[in-house]
Amino acid sequence: MRKVAIVGIGHLPFGNLSKFDLVDIMSFASSDALDDAGIRKDRKIIDQVFVANVGAAILNNQTGVASSLVSRIDLEPAMAETVENGPASGASAIKCGYMAIASGLADVVMVTGGEVMRSVSGWKATDFVAMLLHPEAEYDYGLTLPAFAGMFTRLYMERYGLTEEELALVAVKDHENASRNPYAHVPYPCTLEGIYASPDAGIVNNLLADPLRLYGMCPVSDGAASLILCALDSPKMKHFKKKPPIRISGIGSATDTHCIHYRKDPLELKAVALSAERAYKMAGLGPQDISFAELHDAFVILELAISEEVGFFKKGKAREAVKKGITRIDGKLPINTSGGLKAKGHPLGATGVSQVFELAKQLRGEAETGRQVKDPKHGMAVNFGGFGNNVVTTICSKE
Amino acid sequence: MIVDDFEKRLRPPELNLNPYPPKVITLASGEKMVVREVQRQESAALLETIFPLIGVVDDYYDIVAVRMYSEVLGWHRFRVANEFVLVGAIEGEIAGIVTSRCVDRKVGMSLHTLTIKRGLRVGAQLFAAKMEHHLEFLNQREVWIVAESPNGFRRWMIEYGLENAEDRYPEIRHELGGVPTYILTKEIFNKVRNEKVTGVRPVPPEVLSTADVLRVPEEYPQIPGYRRNRQKRSAT
């Protein structure tokens, strides 16, 4: 199989971008990636474009987004398809890009993820995301992703003794990282006193899905991110001399039951564990080799649960790692250096691409002051689709 | 002097409103925001704070800022009856402003809420403080409210569950723009009070003193790259 590298990265600040057209924001991030790769003039060397998006048809009244993007940034006659895999669409699109190159179908691939969700109210956006649940067994009963996350958190608390204070510490760490990330939707630091301990904390950090509070959940965000991938053995690599290539050393995905009630143990995220196992195997690495990670913390509980499923910590022990500062930027295993979905934001289709953007940025040593992991060698991203029913894990390494 | 006599006639009658007792709110950032009533002689700082936002189209800052500017100026020049202004200040720097007035002893009329420091629900806390003043310290029966932005509509009309008084027009008519008027009654307020109103009283003197002198913000998240030009112009 051919080796695949990231040779260009682009990102738009996440936030409320609803005044822009969806394809506009995707073209901004894509142009950023073309510039980063140094191929704006030579962009026709791109053979294939994969676009990650979930809600264009529903939220933006638009279909055929990949074709539209290719036309908008003058990439015709490149092949182009849209990839939809719920909140894991971004990483799935990267996986498609990887497969296209590894199989020899393409040499250079652009992967762009984008979403404009703030064109509708927060309630409508939550309802739209809930459409990925089982229509009859879950959605029709009013279940939403925050509701599932609340129940998951409660069960985790009961089994492992997790406290609200420990959950708040995850948010504090994520916001600290986001405050140094120019692409973050919520680039404001928060403190344990402000969101947990003060007499005002109950209102400032109000309860949304018991026991999850405002600071336990990601915002509804708009945004776009883009990557350019190239086969390391391709003659076209000569175009990419501007930045060091970052290799995608492992990529794996896995599925689990659509209905959560079919799972023997709702706290067991089998698809996370299996996708990570597949990615580790491809990369020839294990959890001990990972220098830092971007984990899909749409809800802060997921940062803890995913970090355990991928083997960083034993079950129920991630909270201790957070308390000891192990997952901070200056800790032994920094997690969500970008601020995570929690504070950087979660524009569905863009999220998985943005996570790998962060891996590449860190591995190049280009992260902002105070946010750069010290001498990282391998980074891992876990993009979590559904409530853990379709998960993609990507490992990137310095070439 | 005839001018003074006219001026007296131009000034509206006043109800002698009860003062708003200051409080301090710990924000998510851990910062302490003092919420207190502003005195007329402090209006210059407010006007200077509001002015740059008049040019910000996003999130309807333009219309809110321009209307609030006129409300504060009108209050300063004694052209609005029974108005009060509350401010949220962090280490003295103005983080948000709310304006409101009383129609009579029983009915309040909420004017505007302007958030300068974003991402910390400063606006929501100040709006709640304004309602607290109307219904608890001024002991009014109800407050008439309109929204001029989708954010406002979501935060006030929906989250507070305000009573829609559209069908009682023109008996109930807010002064702003003729848009539908909603009402916050004491009963509705009491239902949501514990989820909306926060802050601690009395404010420790050392914290309260940080807001003795209001400082105008030097930067605005709404205006990237903005720097206030404080160079004094020559009198000539």
User: Is the confidence at residue B235, as pLDDT, over 50?
Assistant: no
* B199 and A CB contact within 8 Å: yes
User: Is the confidence at residue A83, as pLDDT, over 60?
Assistant: yes
User: Is the confidence at residue B49, as pLDDT, over 80?
Assistant: yes
* Nearest chain B CA: its distance from A11 CA (Å): 18
E strands, chain A, where?
4-11, 48-52, 79-83, 108-115, 207-209, 212-213, 223-231, 246-255, 292-295, 378-385, 390-398
In contact, B177 and B220? CB cutoff 8 Å: no
> From B154, which residue of chain A is nearest by alpha-carbon distance?
A121
Which of A237-241, A342-346, B132-136, B173-177 has the lowest average pLDDT?
B173-177
ipTM for this model: 0.89
Cα dist. A224→A28, A206, A352, A379 in Å?
A: 8, 29, 10, 21
* Mean pLDDT (whole number) for B41-48: 97
* Nearest chain B CA: its distance from A19 CA (Å): 9
Q: Do A191 and B154 touch (CB under 8 A)?
A: no
Q: What is the pLDDT of residue A108?
A: 98
Nearest to B154 among A121, A191, A202 (CB): A121
Which of A19, A203, A217 should we substitute to test contact with B (largest number of B Cβ atoms within 10 Å)?
A: A203
Q: Do B58 and A121 touch (CB under 8 A)?
A: no
User: Is the confidence at residue A399, as pLDDT, over 90?
Assistant: no
Preceding amide of A77 cis, omega within 30:
yes
pLDDT tens string A255-300 = 999 999 999 999 999 999 999 999 999 999 999 999 999 999 999 9
pLDDT tens string B104-142 = 999 999 999 999 999 999 999 999 999 999 999 999 999
Nearest to A194 among B29, B58, B196 (CB): B29
CB atoms within 10 A of CB A40: 13
Cα dist. B131→B12, B84, B114, B200 in Å?
A: 23, 12, 15, 16
Q: What is the pLDDT of residue B141?
A: 97
Which strands make up the sheet holding B32-37, listed edge to edge? B23-26, B32-37, B83-90, B93-102, B107-115, B142-145, B182-185, B163-164
Q: Do B31 and A194 touch (CB under 8 A)?
A: yes
Q: What is the pLDDT of residue A317?
A: 97
| Confidence category of residue B236, pLDDT binned at 50, 70, 90 | very low
Q: What is the pLDDT of residue B170?
A: 87
Q: What is the pLDDT of residue B228?
A: 82
* Nearest chain A CA: its distance from B97 CA (Å): 18
Q: Is A208 helix (H, G, I), strand (E, B) or coil?
A: strand
Q: What is the pLDDT of residue B1?
A: 60
- Say how far apart CA B148 and CA A154 lie, in whole Å: 39
Averaged pLDDT score across all residues of chain A = 97
pLDDT tens string A11-45 = 999 999 999 999 999 999 999 999 999 999 999 99
In contact, A307 and A335? CB cutoff 8 Å: yes
Q: Which residues of B touch A193 (CB under 8 A)?
A: 26, 30
Q: Which residues of A touch B154 (CB under 8 A)?
A: 121-122
| Confidence category of residue B230, pLDDT binned at 50, 70, 90 | low
Q: What is the pLDDT of residue B130?
A: 98
* B57 and A CB contact within 8 Å: no
pLDDT tens string A296-339 = 999 999 999 999 999 999 999 999 999 999 999 999 999 999 99
| Confidence category of residue B177, pLDDT binned at 50, 70, 90 | confident
- Say how far apart CA A305 and CA A319 lie, in whole Å: 9
Q: What is the pLDDT of residue B150?
A: 86
- Say how far apart CA A270 and CA A286 lie, in whole Å: 17
Residues 6+ apart with CB under 8 A from A125: A59, A117, A118, A220
Q: Which residues of A touch B58 (CB under 8 A)?
A: 19
Return phi, psi of residue A330, to 5°: -95, 10
A-contacting residues of B 68-107, CB under 8 Å? none
Averaged pLDDT score across all residues of chain B = 93
- Between helices B43-50 and B61-76, what is the axis angle to 10°? 160
Q: Is B8 helix (H, G, I), strand (E, B) or coil?
A: helix
Nearest to A188 among B26, B29, B58 (CB): B29
Q: What is the pLDDT of residue B231?
A: 55
Q: What is the pLDDT of residue B138?
A: 98
pLDDT tens string B52-111 = 999 999 989 999 999 999 999 999 999 999 999 999 999 999 999 999 999 999 999 999
| Confidence category of residue A160, pLDDT binned at 50, 70, 90 | very high
